[in-house]
Chain A
Amino acid sequence: MESRGRRRVWLLGALLLFAAGAVLMFTGQGDTAPAPEKDVEFPRRMRSQDHARAEKRRTWVMPAAVDAGVAAPVKPRDPLLAALPRGPGRTAVVIEANALRYSPVGELLMDCLLRDGGKNLEQFKALSGVDPLQDLDRLVVTDEGVILSGDFSKAKYQELLGERVASDHGPGARVYEPGDTTFTLPDGGTQRGRMDTAVGTWNNQMLVFGKSPDSVKTVLDRMDGRGQEDGPPLLDENSTYGEMYGVLAVQTLAKLLGPDQAELAQRLTDVAQNVELHLDTSGDVAMVANVTGLDADKMTDLGKSLGGALSMARMKAQTEGKEDLAQLLDFAKVRPDGTSFKLELAVPLATLQEQLAWCREERQAAERAKTSP
C-alpha cells in the first residue's frame, strides 16, 4: 500500500516535472528565430556592381599612336583612371561621390553639408551652374590637386573663369591659369576674388584643379596618352571597388596619422612603400588597407604592432562599455602575406551617427527657421 502511494507520487511528480521542463525550455529558448549575427562586408574584391560600374565608365578612346601608317586598335577606357598619377610614392584617392551620397554615411555627411539649411549649396549652384549632389560622380584627391568627374555641361565656365588667361590644350580640353574671378551675387551685385589654383576642363566631363597650369596640363596629357611618365596609372580598373578607394603614399599617410601616432608613422615610413585603401559604406564603415613594403620580416613586425594596437583598442572599448565598437573590432585583423599585409577594420555606423548628431540637429533647426514665417 505504502509502495503504491509512493509510486503514485513518482508518476505524478514525473508528469509535473515534464510539464515544468517544457515550460522552462519554451520560455528559455522561445520560438522566435535567433537574431542574425552581426556581420561586416569588407571590400576585398570587385563585386558584380563594381564590374558593371567600371564597364559603364569605359567611354574614352585614347588617340592611338600611329606606327608606320597602321593604327593599333585601342580599347575604350575610363578617362579618370587614365588621368591618375603614375609611379611609386604617389597618392590618388577616389571618392565615389554619387554612391557615397546615397549610403548611410552619405546621409550623415549630407546633414553636415546642409547644416545651414542648404543656403550655401543653393548659392554655389546659382554661381557655378553645377549641382554637386546631381552632377558630381567622382572626386579624386591626388598629391597634384583635385579631379572632379561628372556632368559639367551646365557649368558657367565663362562667368566663373572668363577673366583668366586660358588656352586650349588638346581636343576638348582647356586650361585656365590662376587669376582674378568675379562672382555675381544672388542680389545682383558682384564680388571680386582671386583663385590661386589653375583649372582644367575636359569635355564637360572633368574638372582638374592644380597648383599650376603645368600640373593641370600633366593630368590632361595623361588622358590623351601624351604623358611623359612611365608605368601604369596608380589604380587599375580592378581596384575600383568600394565607395572610396585609392593609393596613399606612406609619407602622406604618416602626415595624416597626427602627432600622437608619431612612432607608428615613423615605422610606416621606414618599412612600407604604399598603402592601397578600400572603404565600404553600405552599412557600417568597413576598411581594407593593403600595405606593401620590401622587407618581409619588417612588414610582419609592423603587422604585429598594428594587430596589437587594434587588440588594445578593442579591450579599451570593452572596458568603456562601448559594446557596438568592441563587437566590430572583433572583425579587425591583419593578414600577413610576405612583403605585404592586409589590415581590416570596421567602424560602427552608430558611432558615426553619434559623433555627427550635431550636424542633423543644426540642419533641422535651419530648415525649421527657413519654413517658419
Chain B
Amino acid sequence: MTVLEARNLTVDIPTEDGTIHAVRDVSFTVDAGELFGIAGESGSGKSVLTQAILGLLPTATIAGEVLLEGRDLLALTQHELQSIRGSRIGMIFQDPMSSLHPYYSIGSQITEMIQVHERAERQAARRRVVDLLARVGIADADQRFDDFPHQFSGGMRQRVMIAMALVLNPPLVIADEPTTALDVTVQAQIIALLDEMRRERGTTVLMITHDLGLLSSIADHLMVMYAGRRMEIGPSGPLFSAPSHPYTAGLLASSPANYEAGAELVPIPGRPPSLLETPQGCAFAPRCLSAMAVCTQQAPPLRVYSDGIETLCWLESAPPDRAATAAEAVVPKVDTSSDIVVKAEGVRLAFGGGGLFNRNYRLEVLKGIDLELRTGETLGLVGESGCGKSTLARVIAGLIPMTGGRITLMGHDLSEVDPRTWQTLRKQVQLVFQNPYGALNPRRRIGAIIGDPYRIHAIASGKARKAEVQRLMELVGLNPEHYNRFPSEFSGGQRQRIGIARALALNPALIIYDEPVSALDVSIQAQILNLMRSLQRELRLTYLFISHDLAVVRHVCNRIAVLQAGQIVEMGEAEAIYSSPQHPYTRALLSASVVSPPRHGVSGRQLLHSIEADAA
C-alpha cells in the first residue's frame, strides 16, 4: 500500500535575486512500512521538498500532486493541513538543540501536540508521553517530563524529538537529517532507535540526508537528488552496488570511507549550479565525468532498468566505478628520525574562576596530554564534541595559555620564550578553521586576507605581496584574477582554499586543521582533502588534523590520537588503530562509524525502456 506519492512535484521560491527552481518535476512513491531515503548535497532541494509537502513554504509556488493516503495535500487549506501535521505526518528535524523550544518543558511540548489533535485528558496525555519517553530511552521519564531541553544532551534531545514525532502514531514520519548534528556514537544509537521504532509501530519513514553511506544499511528505497531533480531512484541494494547515475557514483567515490587509506580520492569536479537558471540539458553535465556532447544540449531521458532503478541520464548502462580504478594507495612513510616540530608533555588546561559573590569553580579541559609531531607527518586528533581537541589545537598554537605541562615548538619552550622570539615562532604555526563562512572577514578582499601574514610580519608589500598572494592562490587552485573579490563571491570549498592559502603564506612548520572539511558537501570535501595531501607531498608540510570523522582521519593521517574527556586514550599508526584498536572507546568510535556499502558491480541489469524528456 502506498502511503505517500508525489507526482511531478515542482517548487519555485521567489527571492530578491529571482526565482529559485528548488524542485523540478520530482515523482516518487513511498510504500507503507518502508524506510525511504532521499539523498543529496546542500541545494539539491531535498529539504524544500519535504517542507512543500507539509505546506510550510507559504511564499512558494508549488505544482504537481502530493498524495498522502490518497488525499492531495496541495489542494488542502491551511486549516486542513494543520490537522494533518503532527497527527498524520510526524517530523524530526536536524538540530535537536534548536528545534525544541527552549522556554517550555519537553513534556509540555509533547502533550501540547496531543491536546491540539485529540483533546485528551491531561493526566492521560501525560501518562502517554511518559510511557513513550521511556520507550525511546529517556531514563526516569516521569521525573524528566518537566525538564527543559537544555537539561538534555544532544542525543537525548533527538530522542525527545523522535518521541514527539511518534506520539500520535502518524503513518508517516519525515526525518530531515536526524543525525547530522550528533556525535558518531550517538548517531548510530539514534539510527538504531528510529529503525526499531518504525518496525515496532509499522511507521513509514522518509529520511533525508546528505550522507549516502548512512542510508545504505537501513533504506529500502532511495532517491538521489541534484539541483532539484530526481537523478536516480530505486531499491537500495542495486542502487548502492551499481549506481546507474554518474552523480550517485560520484558521491560514493567522493567518500573516503570507500577507499583504501591514503588513496587519491576521485572527487566530483566543480561546484553545484545556481538554481536560478534552468539549464537546457542535464543539470549535472558540467560536473559529470561521463558527459557526452548530447548531455548539455538536450534534457536527459528517463532510463528504466530491470532491477527497479530509474535514472535521468543519457548513459545506457552504469558508469564505471572510478573509486575502484583510483590511483594506488600510498601512505607516505614518515622518517622517524626527522626533526620534531612540536612536542607536548603533560599539557594541562583548567578553566577556573569566580565572581565577586560567586563560589569558585574549576573545570579541567586537558588532563595531561603527551604527543609529538615530526616533519612531514600528519597526526589525526579524533574525538567527540567536548573532548578538548579544538582546545588542544589552540593551546599548541599558543592562543590559549596552558595551566600546566610543557610545549616545545621547534626547540623552544613556549612558556619561556621572550616576546620577540615568540613573534618569529608565530609564523611557524598556522590554523585553518572549520567554518569557512565565519572564518573570513566578509568586508575584506581575499587578496588582503591571504596577504595578511606578509603585512603583519612586514615581509612583502606592494607588488611583491600581490605576486606572492597570486602564487599562493594558484597553488591552492584559485583563479589569481579573483584577487580583488570578496569572500561572499566564493563557495564554501573555495573559501576553505582561501584559508589554506593564508595558512601557507609564511611556509609554516606546522599547519593545524580544525575540522577543515566538516562544513563542506562530500563532493567538495574530496577536492579539499586531495589538495591538502598534494600540498603536503610537494611542500613537505606537517599537519595536525582535527576531526570527528574517522573515515576522513584515516584517509589523510599517518598517526592517530584518540582523545576522550581531555586525555589521549590511544595513539598509534593509523592502520594499526583501525585494524586492532586497543582501547574500548576507540572500538566504540570505530563500530559506530558507518560502514561503506558493498559494491560488486552490475549484476544482470537490463535497460527496459527509455522515456524521452518533453520537448518543452
Binding partners A and B:
no
Chain A interface (Cβ within 8 Å of chain B)?
Answer: none
Chain B interface (Cβ within 8 Å of chain A)?
Answer: none
